[in-house]
A and B are shown apart, each in its own frame.
Chain A
Amino acid sequence: MRAVSRIAASVFRESVRDRVPYNLVLFAILLISSSLLLGQLTAGQDVKIIKDLGLAATSLFGLFIAIFIGIGLVSKEVDRRSIYALLAKPISRTQFIAGKYAGLVLTLAVNLGVMTLALYVVLGFMTWGTSPELQSAWDAPGLDPALMKAVFLTFVQLMLVTAIALFFSTFSSPLLSAALTLGFYVVGQFNADLRNFDTVVDSPTAARLARGIYHVVPDLSAFDVKLQVVHGLPVPAGYLAATTAYGLLYITAILLVATFIFSRRDFK
């Protein structure tokens, strides 16, 4: 456990030194400027739009981190040959993978945490500047705790994307890993449609292929409850638990395969 936590800490430190937190500044600028602009243009809808925009940006920025750091987690170590000295230390390859993954998840958690906090600060400011009469017309309170449900599921989704990026980076180049992970992400958003693909195509081969992809690619749309929370619709705790369990199961399976591949890999 010690080795895993030390490797994770080094991934976090590297992301900080690689100026990944700069994205938070960009996020804050985007959010604050949008809120100021929307305050001038819309009446009554501005809080909803800020929630929409804030959650979407949180998800998008997190996706960039998950993919673009995730694909380099292993390949960068191999390319710069730092892995040679590292693997000669008393760590196993499994610990290496677990540490790398945990480090990026930590980076994501901190980034998402700060972005969420920034969103709540902006929403708090907007709520404070809005009369109670206008607030009563909102679908959900400005500082709605339910937003956390959307952020939490986004986090689980990004953990899953990170695992996929890490999996590809154990055996392919960064460029290919990025393309494949992005492909997985896009297909994963439309996964539910693949299940019933036979109803829209005539070709049985295409239908079988779609069904096969459906079984392999995770259903990433299940993690997206942004629309519900923004409109004040309920997201049951059972749904949260089941979706989280689904995500964790997938992550475990992907990391096991990644470890299996990585444990047999030659570093020429």
Chain B
Amino acid sequence: MPPAIRIEELTKDYAVGFWRKRPYRALDRLSLEIEPGEVFGFLGPNGAGKTTTLKLLMQLIFPSSGRAEILGRPVGDVPTKHRIGYLPENPSFYEYLTAEELLTYFAELFGYPAAERRRRVGVMLDRVGLGAERRLQIRKYSKGMVQRVGIAQALLNDPDVIFLDEPMSGLDPLGRRDIRTLILELRDQGRTIFFSSHILADAEALCSRVGVVVRGRLAASGSLNDMLAFDVRGWELVVSDLDPQTLVRVRPAARRVTEISPGRYALELSLDHPPERVLADLVSTGARLVSLNPVRETLEEFFVRRVAEMGTGARAPHAQEASRAGG
């Protein structure tokens, strides 16, 4: 079975400036493979190239070089679009239509007969929580409601591969929870989901694998576990009934000490101080162990570190290459 999404050396250059003489590389030789059934989080700061990638995959823009396939077919293949769903970033629709009319229009483009159109439109609007507002013109919707319409239209055709560009954007906490649940449901149904986000908590909650794109380049890619698990930076030891004298004695071994409540402390130990030795010392003075956990780099810290490592020069050399290539 081919990968659900295959991206090979995908590159997008723009000519910017008044005379369009200045090249700008929005995406730099991106290669990725996403297997069927995966939830893939495409992460990166604003302007990193996430939306560019999604637009390339939807053939809203054309690559300067490289190629991409969805379900084994080149991007832009019209029959394959029957099996694809796409939520654009900050979606916008025909404001004079109601949500029901919009979805009916899109269902017509998919070629569903009238009864099937009515069924799908009804099911999808209920699913995204817009059943009661279905006959309201979209111009009267809030941003979050428009986002929900966007999600409904992306799932209207029961797609195998779903592309979501910042799906949580504009949603309140309840809305975000609903969409997370929806994505997990889709994952359980075996759909492939490729979603871009700069909200790392979403990726941590949903993704089996992530790619981090920074300044147009893929900075890292892999499962969250692989990416973060081996980088244990220390230990967090939580104890109770700790007397002040013992705390003073073990204080030099701890990077940080936080009093949670009277007598209950969280001690962050560096790797130089084995937790078993400190723990034995504490227990011998009457302290009780509450928990002991390894301190790993969070996705956020990983993300910030990679962005810093990529520096400001990541785009410039390639821009120069593009300039030379362009004559």
Contacts A81-B88, A81-B92, A264-B62; A6 near B79 (Cβ below 8 A): no
A88 on the interface (CB 8 Å rule)? Answer: yes
Q: Are B92 and A91 in contact (CB under 8 A)?
A: no
- The A71-99 residues at the B interface (CB cut-off 8 A) are 80-92
10 smallest beta-carbon distances between A and B, as pairs: A88-B86, A84-B88, A266-B61, A90-B81, A17-B96, A89-B109, A81-B92, A6-B108, A267-B60, A80-B92
Considering residues B61, B92, B95, B111, which has the most beta carbons from chain A within 10 angstroms of its beta carbon? B92
Please classify how large the interface on chain A is, using the bins under 10, 10 to 19, 20 to 34, 35 or more.
20 to 34
Q: Which chain B positions have C-beta within 8 A of A2? A: 108, 111
Task: Tell me the complex Cα distance, A68–B85, Å.
Answer: 33
CB-based nearest B residue for A88 = B86
Q: Which residue of A lies closest to B82 (CB)?
A: A90
Q: Per-residue 0/1 for B293-318: is the Cβ within 8 Å of any A Cβ (1 yes, 0 no)?
A: 00000000000000000000000000
B214 at the binding interface (Cβ < 8 Å): no
Which range holds the interface residue count of chain B? Answer: 20 to 34
Q: Which of A10, A17, A84 contacts B91, CB < 8 Å?
A: A84
Interchain CB contact under 8 A, A88 and B81 = yes
Contact A84 B86 (CB under 8 A): yes
Contact of B81 among A6, A82, A84, A89 (CB under 8 A): A89
**Is B58 an interface position by the 8 A CB rule?**
yes
CB of B141 within 8 A of chain A?
no
Residues of B within 8 A of A84 (CB): 55, 58, 60, 86, 88, 91
Chain B residues engaging chain A, CB cutoff 8 angstroms = 14, 55, 58-62, 78-79, 81-82, 84-88, 90-96, 105-106, 108-111, 150, 153-154
Report whether B105 and A6 are in contact in the complex, using a CB–CB cutoff of 8 Å.
Answer: yes
Q: Complex Cα distance A235/B61, Å?
A: 50
Per-residue 0/1 for A28-68: is the Cβ within 8 Å of any B Cβ (1 yes, 0 no)?
00000000000000000000000000000000000000000
**In the complex, which residues of chain B have a beta carbon less than 8 angstroms from the beta carbon of A89?**
81, 106, 109-110
Does A202 touch B at the CB level, under 8 Å?
Answer: no
Asked, given contacts A84-B60, A89-B110, A266-B61, whether A10 binds B105 with beta carbons under 8 Å apart, the answer is yes
Residue from A10, A85, A267 in contact with B61 in the complex, judged by beta carbons closer than 8 Å:
A267
Interface mask (A149-161 → B, CB under 8 Å = 1, otherwise 0): 0000000000000
Contacts of A3 in B (CB 8 A): 109
Does A14 count as interface, using CB distance less than 8 angstroms?
yes
Contact A85 B91 (CB under 8 A): yes
Interfacial chain B residues near A268, Cβ < 8 Å: 14, 61
Q: Is the CB of A82 within 8 A of B86?
A: no
Whole-angstrom distance between the Cβ of B128 and the nearest chain A Cβ: 14
Q: Is the CB of A266 within 8 A of B62?
A: yes
- Nearest CB in chain B to that of A267: its residue: B60
The answer to whether B105 and A85 touch across the interface, beta carbons within 8 angstroms, is no
A133 on interface, CB distance cutoff 8 Å: no
